[in-house]
Amino acid sequence: MSELPAIDSNYLLDILVDLLNTPSPTGKADAAINLVENAVQEFPFLSSKQTRKGAFVSTWEGLANDTPRGLTAHADTLGAMVKEIKTNGRLKLTRIGGFAWNTVEGEGCTIFTSQGETLRGSILLTKASGHVHGSKVNELKRDDDNMEVRLDARTIDADQTRELGIQVGDFVAFDPRVEMVNGFIRSRHLDDKACVACILAAIKALDTAGKKPAQTTTFHFSNYEEVGHGAATGFPDDLAELLTVDMAAIGEGQTSDEFHATLCVKDSGGPYHHGLNQELRKLADQYQIPYKVDIYPYYGSDGEALWRAGGDVAVALIGPGVDASHNYERTHTDALIATTQWIMAYLLN
């Protein structure tokens, strides 16, 4: 068995919690992208820039440059925008990314006005009170029309809400509610902030051990993944391989769990690159990295975004098992460590 550099798990978890507590719905992910940019200052050997689209891209010169590689993880998350200011002063929302309304029902949220102010509120059913609406609370379909934001501000009509500075198009972020217990990390948006933290922890571990990647590698921190086109651009023209790092989907019929990293061999976009998959399996075996192989039935990745944009590269997907994805998610430190190890094994070989 070959040895991998030691991972600073405190660093990994600290940066993960910072990321989770930084609101970054797709379209307004700059705060999380800036946090990554700040973290990368610690690694002066990377040459970095923000793309015009707003992703953050860092390149680490490798020992060789004949098959340049990319790694991508996304810093944007699910969220919403104000669709309409209702006559009762509350807000109708439009969703950003794919999730069911019931997964955020009762959740606290922050509204970001175009003037740079923030307001607090919560996402509720329009017929929320059991004492007023009886069985309708259970029966009402959770859809765009039946969900609203109740603002924590004095307003009972649309004009008063507009006076608070709120307009159609304002971004809304859901409270992540981060909690760490017994090695578990419970939070919204582990997808995909967990993997952003894993990539940064892998870079730090390799650097601390005095190692360099085998091939020149571009780290791409995407800001538009949840709507399907994040990593469609932002890589060098000669890129040969892209390792997408994104969460694994756990549930009935799935092999993935919260204690392993998963190699996804197929999702909604079809099979990933078999040759690169085989390389990744070989590395996991060689370094005794705890992993599963799985298929995700309703899932698309930023690797496929690059393929759809015409990228002539081998693409694979690995990531930590995340329970209740696009809901109130949870993973375990073991899965984060396994994912970080796999990233390092790939970079070194």
Helix (H) or strand (E) holding 17, with range, is helix 9-20
CB nearer Zn ion, residue 28 or residue 92:
28
How far is Cα 213 from Cα 316, in angstroms, rounded to an integer? 18
CB nearer Zn ion, residue 62 or residue 319:
319
Stretch that binds Zn ion, among 43-51, 175-183, 192-200, 258-266 (CB under 5 A): 192-200
192 binds Zn ion (CB under 5 A): yes
Least distance to Zn ion, CB of residue 75, Å = 10
CB nearer Zn ion, residue 196 or residue 205:
196
Stretch that binds Zn ion, among 52-60, 90-98, 191-199, 200-208 (CB under 5 A): 191-199
CB atoms near residue 102 (< 10 Å) = 12
> Would you give the binding string for Zn ion spanning residues 58-97, x where CB under 5 A is met?
----------------------------------------
Least distance to Zn ion, CB of residue 220, Å = 14
Helices 9-20 and 333-348 pack at an angle, to 10 degrees, of 110
Least distance to Zn ion, CB of residue 171, Å = 19
b (16+ CB within 10 A) / e for 7-42: beeebbbebbbbbbbbbbbbbbbbebbebbbebbee
Sign of CA dihedral 32, 25, 333, 259: negative
Q: How many residues bind Zn ion (CB under 5 A)?
A: 3
How far is Cα 125 from Cα 146, in angstroms, rounded to an integer? 6
CA 262 centroid distance within chain: 16
Contact 69, 63 (CB under 8 A): no
For Cα atoms 295, 5, 215, give the angle at the middle one, nearest 5 degrees: 70
Least distance to Zn ion, CB of residue 221, Å = 12
CB nearer Zn ion, residue 246 or residue 294:
246
The residues that are catalytic are 225
CB nearer Zn ion, residue 75 or residue 91:
75
Contact 323, 330 (CB under 8 A): yes
**Which residue in the block uniquely carries the two structure tokens 């019929």?**
253
Least distance to Zn ion, CB of residue 133, Å = 35
> Would you give the binding string for Zn ion spanning residues 233-252, x where CB under 5 A is met?
-------------x------
Q: Which of 170, 191, 294, 334 binds Zn ion (CB under 5 A)?
A: 191
Tell me 323's DSSP state: B
The contact set with Zn ion (CB under 5 A) reads: 191-192, 246
